[in-house]
A and B are shown apart, each in its own frame.
Chain A
Amino acid sequence: MKHDTQDQQTLEKAVDRLCKQQPLRKAPADLYSRVMREVQLRKALPWWRKSFLHWPLMMQVAFVLAALVTAKLALVCTDWVSSNWFASSKVARESASLIQGADTVITVSHSISSHLTEVIPMSWMYAALAIVAVLYLVLFGVGVATYKTLYAAR
């Protein structure tokens, strides 16, 4: 155990010495021109495509005000809906008919699906499920192959 620790320390010192001795890697010769080109591109962007901190002061103030007004409006609307909308009997009746409609849709879809399971043989169902599973696996395999080609094998 003590031997292992000594080995680890020896290795650490050796790697540390080696790393510290290394010269810097040379940056690409065109880095300066790339940076200046990017700076010019960003300068040419319209204000609304820059980050908020770079917007004109007037626009920043207007945006904050608009956000506050929107928030207030949302609160007022919510309050109005809860106090007036659901209290109205007409709306309540409409809501009830909506619920009935939804119930009918569920009942009909249930009867259609049970009818289909009677008509379509189960073997077809299993075959369809198997095809979907195979397609899913193929898609997954393509994903893994893409990962290995583009990233893992870099």
Chain B
Amino acid sequence: MNPAPEQPVGTRDFASFMQAYQDMVFSTAVRLLGNDHQAEDIAQEVFVKAYEQFDNLRSSESAGGWLKTVTTNLCLNYLSRYRKRWRLFSEMAGKDDDDEFDIETVTGVVGSDVVFEELDADEQHQLLEAALIKLPDHQRIPLVLYHFEGIAYDAIAAQLNVSLSKLKTDLLRGRAALAKAMQQHALQQV
């Protein structure tokens, strides 16, 4: 599970506040961005903002939710700025449309549940994180928002400014790519 610490912060100081939430913030950032260094910068920025708002946050029941929202927004802003900067080359390299897996590929990974079960927890974790990083942004971001953060389809579509059908297709392809990468690795292990 993804244990988001939701207990009231009460009178804890900022150091223990950070201790309680830093893994959650960093995990969200690193999964959305697919890059450890950028995620560290974003996590730092999130907690600087939290420090400025600490008088309100220290006694807030929804501090975890606030941190998640700020983290997600900062990551998406960062990605959108970065994407605009590199869009020309990105489109030339065909990176955004580089869907290695067609919808039909899903039928090839239906046994994924079984394959996932065969791996131990550490292996699953390592494989999943590695496979996530390799996904293109337009598949990884909705996948993380939907499966890790539990945000609804329509809210993700609105946040990413894409149609619901495109979002669902990206998610489908992202899941297939993820499962296929993990299956391939599992088969190599056998």
Contact = CB atoms under 8 A, between A and B. Distances in A.
Nearest to A37: B44
B78 interface: no
A8 interface: yes
Query: DSSP majority for the A interface?
Result: helix
Query: DSSP majority for the B interface?
Result: helix
A143 B93 CA distance: 11
B124 A144 contact: no
A39 B2 contact: no
Interface string B27-52: 10011001100001001100110010
A11 B2 contact: no
A15 to B, nearest CB: 5
Nearest to B104: A4
B187 interface: no
A19 B48 contact: no
A116 interface: no
A143 B2 CA distance: 40
B22 A20 contact: no
A18 B124 contact: yes
B107 A7 contact: yes
Contact of B89 (A18, A31, A32, A144): A144
B23 A24 contact: yes
A10 B110 contact: yes
A19 B128 contact: yes
Interface string A17-46: 111111111111001101100110010000
B190 interface: no
B175 interface: yes
A25 B129 contact: yes
Interface in B87-132: 88-90, 92-93, 95, 103-104, 106-107, 109-110, 112-113, 116, 121, 124-125, 128-129
Contacts of B112: 10-11, 14-15
A53 B87 CA distance: 33
Contacts of A146: 89
A129 B180 CA distance: 49
A72 interface: no
B127 to A, nearest CB: 10
Interface string B143-159: 10001100000000000
B106 A8 contact: yes
A146 B110 CA distance: 39
Given A18-B128, A39-B51, A147-B86, A27 B22 contact: yes
20 contacts: A7-B110, A8-B106, A8-B172, A11-B106, A11-B176, A15-B178, A17-B116, A18-B128, A20-B1, A21-B124, A24-B26, A25-B23, A27-B43, A31-B47, A32-B18, A39-B48, A143-B89, A144-B93, A147-B86, A151-B90
Interface of B: 1-3, 15, 18-19, 22-27, 30-31, 34-35, 40, 43-44, 47-48, 51, 82, 86, 88-90, 92-93, 95, 103-104, 106-107, 109-110, 112-113, 116, 121, 124-125, 128-129, 143, 147-148, 172, 175-176, 178-179
